[in-house]
């Protein structure tokens, strides 16, 4: 209980949001903060046990190029040989269905600068992430990202064993709620202990892209960010690595 209060010499300080260790600096003046959500692809790296590691080498080394170009001019041309399921990657309907569309037919509106929401289930006792985890958020027209914290095991044997996954009911719920894209920071969005893949089957049949092996989701708020995961336009491919990232306004 006080009398009249007068504020003198008021000054407003515009302070930038404190960035996380995973965040990159934004371009001067644009006001956005960029958060990288992709794993680094390295020579010899295993993404999924049983699939070959990428081979990264020189096609034309700088030393070799000096024999081709004028004095003082040199270039490097790299070469990479890998399966499509390497690093942080996106799945198209063609990955699951022979008549599904490939990377060339992907609508950019589904994977570029789309509104995102995140479901934090890190520390959950159950591996299965069921539909009720998604009920509190607005899924329609959003990229729905599932933060399990499993990315902490990346490049270890633990990453391949006992990973979190979505249930079939969760996939049906996300489809029916109109999710634009679904991503997870785990080995697979499905339970891989058996041969069926209900989550892939349901989401890709509904033309809902899937992004697996995300990382750094702890840097994101529950909502209010924009998500991008754009692959190259390769004909006849249903899966390919992406540079997944999010932008946050201050």
Domains of the chain: 35-39+84-248 (3.50.30.50), 42-81 (no CATH)
- Write out the two tokens for 195: 């041969």
- Ranking 24-33, 146-155, 188-197, 214-223 by mean pLDDT, the lowest is 24-33
Q: Report the pLDDT value the prediction gives residue 30, as an integer from 0 to 100.
A: 63
Q: How many CB atoms lie within 10 A of CB 192?
A: 15
What residues contact 159, with CB distance under 8 A and at least 6 apart?
Answer: 150, 153, 187
53, 46 Cβ separation under 8 angstroms: yes
Q: Is 150 helix (H, G, I), strand (E, B) or coil?
A: helix
Q: Report the pLDDT value the prediction gives residue 3, as an integer from 0 to 100.
A: 54
165, 127 Cβ separation under 8 angstroms: yes
What residues contact 229, with CB distance under 8 A and at least 6 apart?
Answer: 37, 88, 90, 111, 143, 181, 183, 209, 211, 242, 243, 244, 245
Phi/psi zone of residue 235: left (φ > 0), alpha (ψ -120 to 50 degrees), beta? beta
For 65-101, give the DSSP string.
Answer: HTTTSPTT----EEEEE--SS-SSEEE-HHHH-TTS-
The per-residue pLDDT for range 83-141, each reduced to its tens digit, is 999 999 999 999 999 999 999 999 999 999 999 999 999 988 899 999 999 999 999 99
- Write out the two tokens for 137: 């958020």
Q: Report the pLDDT value the prediction gives residue 218, as an integer from 0 to 100.
A: 96
Q: Report the pLDDT value the prediction gives residue 22, as an integer from 0 to 100.
A: 45
Residue 178's pLDDT band, with cuts at 50, 70 and 90, is very high
């Amino acid at each position: 209980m006080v009398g009249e209060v007068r504020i003198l010499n008021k000054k407003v300080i515009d302070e930038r949001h404190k960035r996380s260790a995973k965040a990159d600096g934004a371009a001067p003046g644009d006001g956005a903060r960029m958060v990288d959500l992709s794993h680094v692809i390295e020579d010899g790296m295993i993404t999924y046990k049983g699939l070959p590691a990428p081979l990264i080498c020189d096609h034309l080394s700088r030393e070799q190029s000096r024999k081709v170009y004028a004095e003082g001019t040199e270039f490097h041309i790299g070469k990479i040989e890998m399966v499509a399921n390497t690093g942080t990657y996106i799945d198209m309907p063609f990955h699951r269905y022979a008549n599904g569309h490939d990377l060339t037919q992907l609508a950019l509106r589904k994977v570029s600068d789309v509104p995102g929401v995140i479901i934090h289930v890190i520390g959950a006792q159950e591996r299965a992430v069921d539909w009720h985890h998604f009920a509190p958020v607005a899924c329609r027209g959003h990229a729905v990202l599932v933060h399990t914290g499993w990315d902490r095991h990346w490049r270890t044997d633990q990453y391949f064993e006992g990973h979190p996954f979505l249930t079939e009911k969760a996939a049906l719920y996300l489809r029916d709620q109109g999710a634009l894209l679904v991503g997870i920071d785990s080995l697979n969005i499905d339970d891989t202990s058996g041969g069926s893949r209900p989550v892939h089957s349901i989401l890709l049949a509904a033309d809902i892209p899937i992004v697996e092996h995300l990382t750094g989701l702890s840097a994101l708020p529950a909502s209010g960010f924009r998500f991008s995961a754009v692959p190259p336009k390769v004909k006849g491919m249903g899966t390919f690595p992406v540079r997944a990232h999010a932008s946050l306004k201050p």
